Amino acid sequence: MLRAGSIALFCACLIGLALPSSPARAGQEPAGLSKLKHLIFIIQENRSFDNYFGTYPGAAGFPSPLPCLPSMWYPSQCFPPFPDHSDSNAGGPYDNEYQLSDIDGGAMDGFVIEREKELKNSKCKPQDVGTNKLVVINDDEVGPLLAKCTMDVMGYHDGTDLPNYWAYAQQYVLMDHFFESIHSQSHPSHLAIFSMWSAKCAQLNPPDVNSCVADGQPGNIWGQKGYNEPYLWTDITYLLWQNSIDWRVYLDGGLGTLHDHDKVGAIWDVLPGFEKVQEDGQVGNAENYLLPDFFNDAAAGTLPPVSWVLPHYYDSEHPQASIAAGQTYTTSLINAVMSGPAWKDSAIFIVWDDMGGFYDNLAPPYSFDTLGLGIRVPSLLISPYAKKNYIDQQVCSTDCYLKLVEDVFIGGARLRSTGRSDPRADYRDEETAYGNLANDFDFVQPPRPPMLLSTHPMTMLRKEPTPPTMRYIRR
């Protein structure tokens, strides 16, 4: 049961509809960007927009009537979105080919079928439609198989599960047309987060950047299994280095291997693998700073101009990690900035790197190249200058984050200006079809005071395993 204070916080999110944005003109910069001294990017994992904000008032969430997706296992049934208060979710497949099938040419109807294909060769059998229960072959393995067999790609959470995230949306900016830069999984997504591109390079010894070809499945992960050939194309930190702009990556638990759940793996912390980071002597910026350093820097006012904070698995909200733990972790980071001297000139962005197999109803509007855009993900902006209760309907992705970095700290110089040529089809920071995140700020207003939230809010999230079921409707 929710306590009165938590109910009040949730209800506060529902007072009035959030204001949608008006169309923005590319290249139009409001005065005041120079007031921002710190851009902080909190990168979480594997959630679609509808999975977290599909019922948020005023946002481009679920349409009415609710969509009902087809099933391979049950041709006479279809599956609509349903409220899911499970603290741990399973999600579905989300690699390049699965996202393209989910999108299905804009129909956005492949999520259930792709999850069924994923389970086809496992120990999970189809649901018994009569009882709405999934059958597990070996009763002795019900515990570990429960999450594996769960069909929850159509499930969604709301403000009773996510009171802090919804409170941030109500008080600051929620972006409801924010898409993954690449229709693929975490490794290429993180490459794009830092460089606006993902590629596979054919000639590595000697390295030749012109051998790199755009690829949503780049394969080898730098730093894993003895693979130490660098990512050859240009990342944003090279432009920062050229302009003497300090940056850091703060690691939750330190840098680990791909399967160290209590550390950040190289699939997420990709910056140490970039050739220019190594040549600049700045690998330590991406490897040496831990979560306590972030809290200390926030308290002391020594945060760098640009920082990224990467979680370990247990704090990431990645299926099957705890949503509550992720919300606690993220809130603690935001509280730290709000409690320190940097709050008055900071902008904090929260984004979930890919869609995790969860349903979303809004098709990516166009594709810049073979890589994307991918399926929509949540993104929030929190700043003393952020517009209040504002829904940004501009099309954007994490590429827009890097453009904002360039606009705030480098006078609008773009990645192309580094003097290094990439064989990429385009530089996403030059893409005029994107919106402009500068329009989410109101620099005329005085800096707004901080809004400190409980790191352990009361929620409707259930810790106990949820029966692996999914609601259906007979056609």
Reported as a single tens digit per residue, the pLDDT across 61-71 is 999 999 999 99
Q: Which of 86-100, 219-233, 329-343 has the lowest mean pLDDT?
A: 219-233
User: How much is the average pLDDT of 87-112?
Assistant: 94
Is a pLDDT exceeding 70 seen at residue 143?
A: no
Rounded to an integer, what distance in angstroms lies between the CA atom of residue 324 and that of residue 317?
Answer: 8
Q: Which amino acid is at 124?
A: C
Q: Is the model more confident about 249 or about 136? A: 249
Task: State how beta strands 173-175 and 390-392 pair.
Answer: parallel
Domain 36-53+161-440 has CATH 3.40.720: yes
Give first-to-last CA distance, the chain, whole Å.
36
Q: What percent of the chain has pLDDT over 70?
A: 85
21: pLDDT strictly greater than 70: no
For the chain, give the percent of residues with pLDDT over 90: 75
Do 314 and 321 form a contact (C-beta atoms < 8 A)? yes
Does residue 475 have a pLDDT over 80? no
The owner of tokens 């890919």 is 354
Q: Rounded to 10 degrees, what is the CA torsion of 307, 24, 100, 188?
A: -20
Could you please report the per-residue DSSP string of 116-184?
Answer: HHHHTTSSEEEEETTTTEEEES-GGGHHHHHHHH---TTEE--TTT-HHHHHHHHHSEEESSBB-SSSS
What is the arithmetic mean of pLDDT over 363-374? 90
pLDDT of residue 373 exceeding 90, the answer is yes
* pLDDT-wise least confident of 77-86, 189-198, 340-349, 352-361: 77-86
pLDDT confidence of residue 472: 57
Report the helix count and the strand count for the chain, using DSSP H and E. 13, 18
Q: Give the SS3 label for residue 42.
A: strand
What is the model's pLDDT at position 123? Answer: 66
How many residues are listed for the chain in this entry? 475
Q: Which two tokens stand for residue 56?
A: 């948020």
DSSP structure class, residue 65: S
Determine the Cα–Cα distance for residues 242 and 238; give it in Å rounded to an integer.
6
> Residue 409: in which H helix or E strand, if any?
helix 398-409
User: For 414-460, what is each residue's pLDDT tens digit?
Assistant: 999 999 988 998 999 999 999 999 999 999 999 999 999 999 999 99
Least confident of 102-111, 120-129, 214-223: 120-129
Q: Rounded CA gap, 248 and 196, in Å?
A: 18
Residue 451 · residue 167 · CB < 8 Å: yes
Query: Which band of pLDDT confidence, cut at 50, 70 and 90, is reported for residue 465?
Result: low
Residue 25 has pLDDT above 70, yes or no: no
CATH 3.40.720 maps onto the chain at 36-53+161-440
Residue with tokens 């394969």: 219
Amino acid 471: pLDDT: 58
Q: Which two tokens stand for residue 393?
A: 């309907």
Q: Which residues contact 265 (CB under 8 A, 6 or more apart)?
A: 255, 256, 257, 258, 259
> How large is the average pLDDT for residues 24-45?
79
CB 39 within 8 A of CB 350: no
| pLDDT (0 to 100) of residue 227 | 81
Burial of 474 (0-12, 13-18, 19+ CB in 10 A): exposed
Q: Which of 29-38, 131-140, 370-379 has the highest mean pLDDT?
A: 370-379
* CB-side neighbour CA atoms (13 Å) of 459: 27
Instruction: Supply the pLDDT for residue 18.
Output: 52
Contact between 469 and 151 under an 8 Å Cβ cutoff? The reply is yes
pLDDT confidence bin for 89, thresholds 50/70/90: very high
Cα 66 from chain centroid? 25
**16 has a pLDDT exceeding 70:** no
Q: What's the rounded mean pLDDT across residues 132-154?
A: 54
What is the chain's Cα-based Rg?
A: 22
